[in-house]
Structure 1
Amino acid sequence: MRVLVTGASGQLGQDVVTVLKHKGHTVMGCGRSELDITDAEQCKQAILSFQPDTIIHCAAYTAVDAAETDVDGAYLVNAIGSRNLAVAAEAVQAKIIYISTDYVFDGKGTVPYHEYDNTDPQGIYGKSKRAGEVLTQTLSSRYFIVRTSWVYGMHGNNFVKTMLKLGQEKPQLKVVDDQKGSPTYTVDLAEFLSELMLTEKYGVYHASNSGACTWYEFTQSIFAQAADVLGVSFQAKLEPCTTAEFPRPAPRPANSVMEHLSIRTNGFTDIRSWQEGLNAFLLEYQASMQSKTE
């Protein structure tokens, strides 16, 4: 299959490209320098030239706090950029997979969100990503909306890497214990996307590693597993705290847990637990560190 990947230099995009190439697909990975998704004509020309069967749209404006003041910038990328890709995809009858977020919900619910629950984003980032969903659904006849959460992997900065570093440097770490969600290992998400794109089971999906935890519980597991896998000792004393103790410009959802209803009802195998995903990441991290020292 011919697959065009936007945001190919990003955290998820790099693993999507790697997984797809490993499976034998012909992949055109486009970072910002190769494809400006906010330029409709450039999108049209790139897609007409490559003639992809599928577009996996990983490019996004993800600076959650900056989006609160850079409203135009967030909508330009997340809404207008997604529209440009959806229109160009439809012109060549390509499938499009739009990567979305748990931030499209208000986070005030007490149970995991289903794919068909009403959305109610609270901040500009979530609102602009929801706008991208709506435009993709409206303009494409072959779309998958894939919402994910708490993403981390080998590429770029993320929570797991930060905690591994701070845990060895700081005497004390306060971590939020009143936000709950599902950590998602980029390789596991990329594997699911590679399976999804081969089907015509279009619609909205929630895709994260299975299970849920708070950021504090996630950090506890990071330290415990890293001590076992990497042989690292952490000096930091972990303490739970509230969201209110770390005020940020953009609101954070208290409940980010998303039910994998569509994965189950469409006959896919659910994504493994977040604990297993974390273990796989740490093994990949260890291998990467070893290769750098050899």
Structure 2
Amino acid sequence: MTLLVFGKTGQVARELARIAPEARFMGRDEADLMQPDACQAAILAVRPDLVINAAAWTAVDRAEVEETAAGVVNGTAPGAMAGACARLGIPFLHVSTDYVFDGAGDRPFAPDHPTGPLGAYGRTKLAGEAAVRASGAAHLILRTSWVFSVHGANFVKTMLRLGAERESLTVVADQIGGPTPAAGIAATLLACGRAMRAGHPGGTHHYSGAPDVSWAEFARAIMAEAGLSCEVRDIPSSDYPTHARRPLNSRLDCSSLERGFGIGRPDWRAALRDVIRELAA
């Protein structure tokens, strides 16, 4: 099977490279998502058996002032990729986000729950989902949340750095979600891709770590696992203003993925242990 992955340096792409080193990975030098036609042409030139889009505009706050550019990367480009996959008759797998929801309430969002993004990032990701569905390609849209790994910049690495430098930190405690290991997302995409190659219809599904916690609870778990004495104190989101609004409720109902593919929610605590050990090594 020839697998083509858009993305090289992101957390999910780098985890895909670990478990599928034989895949073809395309970074910006070969296929810039700011040029959707080039992404489509790349797929038609390679003629793979399966395409995974692990690239995206993830700068949430910057998207508020550069929504047009974010919209090309997160919206137009995935649609162009999916269109090429439709022409070739191959599956297209796309990573999306909890930010497509409004974060209201305290119940997990199911895949078919009405969307309502709070800001530009969520709007552009939602546009990408719509474009993928409209392409006619066999597709999987995998919404996830709070991604962490040993790669790049993420909450775990930030907390480890600050926890080693400070005696105490304040972290928001009214945003609740499921921290999700990038390694688990990568393995899920591969498993779903193989199933779709065998005839599974795909669809829109959720994948996030369990149990659901607040950012503050997650931070305390990071400190404890790393043996850091830094105290984590709870604050409301109103005490930590950001340019873009963050959803208070990022809980995701992942049951359709388990029913359809036999893939359950990963225990983020075990994944956190592995990440911290690897970083220490």
TM-score bracket, normalised by the shorter chain, equals over 0.9
1:204 and 2:204 aligned? yes
Matched, 1:265 2:259: yes
- Tell me if the contact between 2:255 and 2:264 (Cα under 8 Å) persists in the aligned partners: no
Aligned to 1:290: none
1:124 corresponds, among 120, 123, 140, to 120
RMSD: 1.3
SS across alignment from 1:65: helix
* Aligned 1:159-174 pairs, distance under 5 A: 159-174=155-170
1:248 match: secondary structure: coil
Match for 1:90 among 86, 93, 97?
86
C-alpha distance 53-130 of structure 1, shift in aligned 2 (>3 A): same
* Distance 1:211-1:237 versus aligned 2 partners, 3 A rule: closer
Q: Report SS of the residue matched to 1:48.
A: helix
Percent of paired sites with the same residue = 35
Match of 2:220 in 1: 220
| Equivalent in 119, 125, 142 of residue 146 of structure 1 | 142
* 1:237 has 2:231 as partner: yes
| Matched residue, 1:274 | 268
1:245 and 1:44 map into 2 onto residues whose CA distance is: 44
Q: Which secondary structure does the structure 2 equivalent of 1:198 belong to?
A: helix
Q: TM-score, normalised by structure 1?
A: 0.91
How has the CA–CA distance of structure 1 residues 35 and 108 changed in structure 2, closer, same or farther, with 3 Å as cutoff?
same
Q: 2:240 aligns to what?
A: 246
Q: Any stretches of 5+ residues in structure 2 without a counterpart?
A: none
TM-superposition CA deviations, 1:242-267 (whole Å, max 9, x none): 10001111111000010112122214
Contact 1:209–1:277 (Cα < 8 Å) also in 2: no
Match of 2:130 in 1: 134
Amino acid aligned to 1:9: T
Larger deviation: 196-205 or 125-134?
196-205
Distance across 1 between alignment mates of 2:29 and 2:163: 35
Are the aligned partners of 1:174 and 1:241 in contact in 2 as well (CA < 8 Å)?
yes
- Say which of 28, 46, 57 aligns to 2:53: 57
C-alpha separation between the residues in 2 aligned to 1:16 and 1:33? 19
Q: Relative to 1, partners in 2 of residues 1:237 and 1:44: Cα closer, same or farther, differing over 3 Å?
A: closer
Q: Give the Cα–Cα distance (whole angstroms) in 1 for the partners of residues 238 and 205 of structure 2.
A: 31
Q: Amino acid of the residue matched to residue 276 of structure 1?
A: A
Question: Hey, what's the Cα distance between the residues in 2 that align with 1:262 and 1:112?
Answer: 12
Aligned residues of 1:96 and 1:140 also touching (Cα < 8 A): no
Which residue of structure 1 aligns with residue 185 of structure 2? 189
